[in-house]
Amino acid sequence: MSLPLRTVLACSLCSGLSLCFLPLPCALAGTSSLMTQPTLTGNWGGQRQKLEEQGIKLTGDYTSETLSNLNGGIKRGTRYAQQIRLGAQFDLSKLLDIPDAGRVQVLVNDRRGHSATEDLIGNRLSAQEIYGGEYTRLTELSYQRNLFSPDLSAKVGYMVMGTEFCT
């Protein structure tokens, strides 16, 4: 399924205009610059810092890839794919008040969109790094603990290679 050029341009324009509103949370929170704060969404009125002090760290990221095939392959066209990752780290030392208890990490990944490789190009190597079908799945459920010193740690559980390596 190929999207009309008008649709692709409209989506690109809307995405670009939405970037104009990114500084708004900083302005409302009194932060001097979006580029100097440690997170995009700020401190949530102190709630993020409070959670981290208690041993709970929430994470999330969004990645999008738009790819166009202008010449060659099966046909010309444009495809869009996206990935949303949400996670939480639980510091068991802080939560349970036990020294060196380790931490538990949970990460969920949601991917949506269409593959330019399958639909437009027709080769076996993926042209879009994040495309992997349309699904929501558990990406990581792990337990990590330092052994003898912070320089040596062990991690067990369910993990995909991309969360620990190549990041």
Asked whether residue 127 is domain-assigned, the answer is: yes
User: Rounded to two decimals, what is the model's pTM?
Assistant: 0.69
Q: Which domain holds residue 59?
A: 54-164
pLDDT: which is higher, 81 or 35: 81
Among 75, 81, 49, residue whose Cα is nearest residue 63: 81
Phi and psi for 58 in degrees, rounded to 5?
A: -100, 140
Among 41, 64, 166, 56, residue whose Cα is nearest residue 110: 64
Write down the pLDDT at residue 157. Answer: 95
Same domain, 101 and 29: no
pLDDT winner (highest mean) among 7-11, 22-26, 149-153: 149-153
Same domain, 30 and 61: no
Same domain, 36 and 59: no
Average pLDDT over residues 45-51: 94
What rounded mean pLDDT belongs to the chain? 83
Same domain, 101 and 139: yes
* DSSP of 32-77: S-TTTSSSTTTTGGGHHHHHHHHTEEEEEEEEEEEEEE-SSSS--E
Q: How confident is the model at residue 13 (pLDDT cuts 50, 70, 90)?
A: very low
Q: In this predicted structure, which of 63-67, 72-76, 127-131 has the lowest mean pLDDT? A: 127-131
Dist CA 147 CA 154 (whole Å): 7
Q: What is the CATH number of the domain that holds 149?
A: 2.40.160.180
Reported residue count of the chain is: 167
Number of domains in the chain: 2
Same domain, 128 and 62: yes
Among 42, 8, 47, residue whose Cα is nearest residue 22: 42
Asked whether residue 48 is domain-assigned, the answer is: no
Same domain, 83 and 159: yes
Asked whether residue 10 is domain-assigned, the answer is: yes
pLDDT: which is higher, 17 or 71: 71
What value does the CA radius of gyration of the chain take, rounded to a whole number of Å? 20
